[in-house]
Amino acid sequence: MKVFMGAAAAALAVIVVVFGLIATLIVNSDGEAEAATDGGGGLQGVPPEFRTWILQADAECKEPGLTPALLAAQLAQESGFRTTARSTVGAQGPAQFMPGTWATWGRDADGNGQTSPWDIGDAVMAQGRMMCSLLRQAKASGYPGDVRALALAGYNAGWGAVERFRGVPPKSFAAGQTYHYVQLILASMSKYQGPGLLQVSGSGSGPDALRKAATRTGVPYAWGGGGPAGPSTGFCDGTNGYLGGRCSASSTVGFDCSSLVQYAYWPATKLPRTAAAQYGATSDRPVARGDLKPGDLLFWSRGGSGAIYHVALYAGDGNVLHAPRTGRKVELAPLTSAMPQQDYYGATRP
């Protein structure tokens, strides 16, 4: 929530309402992977509908000061993760954007045809873009103190207030609202800091694809769902997509195995949609099991190339990152147990 917005309003004191008080892959006791992104850290304790967007917002910012835990703590402070939050001064949605500021940072991130501060995806991605910009300003300013504190103060009170005080505004400013906003968020970050996840080193199409896919760890499996733009609802075909006797895919926003791979490599490499087609498009570049590198594609089949039913990304250290099946989530798993060993068909390099 903004105390005020913009340098022109930097001298105004508006009271805010407080709503609430690199990547290494680990698997928890339920066999599900916790998620994080390179340069950030783990994430825990956030509503599932916010998790994917927080990780994506972090992944799209190259500033090391921005982490999933920082974004989560800020959202908790702004709105308590409430999508209907509205302040007395007109701030809107989970990231509490004022209309004027939303006009600058808002985009249709979730692809639903609307750019709205009430939409989780739009709001969190805009929050991430604004914080990323503020972190760059903070770093370039030379002002003393933690660049994260400076950026948070700029988000809450406008960068003009930071310039006015050449740092985080003191307790005497705006009845201490900005000062306490910054302190509370930094102090509560540890609550949302989960274990670190999949550390991907190196550059090139394979590591880049693996890094991108890792930001979707924890996203549900949806048969027929997902694509280059991200997760989406799937469908049932009479055999696949069912859970507990009902069609789960049609109401689940997620990926299936091949859409995750397609998303990971897009747009640098535009792989086809299904696992079998992805094998066909890359089979001229086979990779022996002993020569696997991060980002290589691994395939499982029940009888030749025409019966390929699963694809995964090699994640290094004998692990794969994949969307396994209905009822599960995108996760890290050992290559030896990700799918039946006897079904392993081979690997390729896109």
- The one-letter code for the residue type at 103 is A
Residue 285: predicted pLDDT: 98
Six token digits for residue 72: 């989560």
The parts of the chain modelled with pLDDT lower than 50 are 1-41
Choice among 34, 63, 78, 331 that is catalytic: 78
Residue 32 falls in the annotated catalytic set = no
Residue 62: predicted pLDDT: 83
Domain pair 7-192 / 205-348, same fold: no
- Rounded to the nearest 10 degrees, how much is the dihedral formed by the CA atoms of 264, 268, 272, 276? -60
- Residue-averaged pLDDT of the chain: 86
Six token digits for residue 154: 């700029």
Six token digits for residue 250: 């049609």
pLDDT digits (tens, 9 = 90+) for 63-89: 889 989 999 999 999 999 999 999 999
- The one-letter code for the residue type at 334 is P
The CATH architecture one would assign to domain 205-348 is Alpha-Beta Complex (3.90)
Asked if 192 and 73 touch (Cβ cutoff 8 Å), the reply is yes
Residue 12: predicted pLDDT: 27
Residue 195: predicted pLDDT: 57
C-alpha–C-alpha distance, residues 171 and 345, integer Å: 64
| Residue 128: its H or E element | helix 120-141
DSSP string across 162-221: HHHHTSS--TTGGGGHHHHHHHHHHHHHHHH---------S-SHHHHHHHHHHTTTTPBB
Please, what CATH class does the domain formed by 7-192 belong to? Answer: mainly alpha
Sign of the CA dihedral 266, 272, 277, 281? Answer: negative
**Within a 10 A sphere around the Cβ of 294, how many other Cβ atoms?**
22
C-alpha–C-alpha distance, residues 274 and 256, integer Å: 9
C-alpha–C-alpha distance, residues 305 and 307, integer Å: 5
> Domain segments of the chain: what residues?
7-192, 205-348
β-strand partners of 6: none
Residue 217: predicted pLDDT: 85
- Residues found in the chain: 350
Residue 197: predicted pLDDT: 59
Residue 14: predicted pLDDT: 28
Q: How far is CA 13 from the centre of its chain?
A: 34
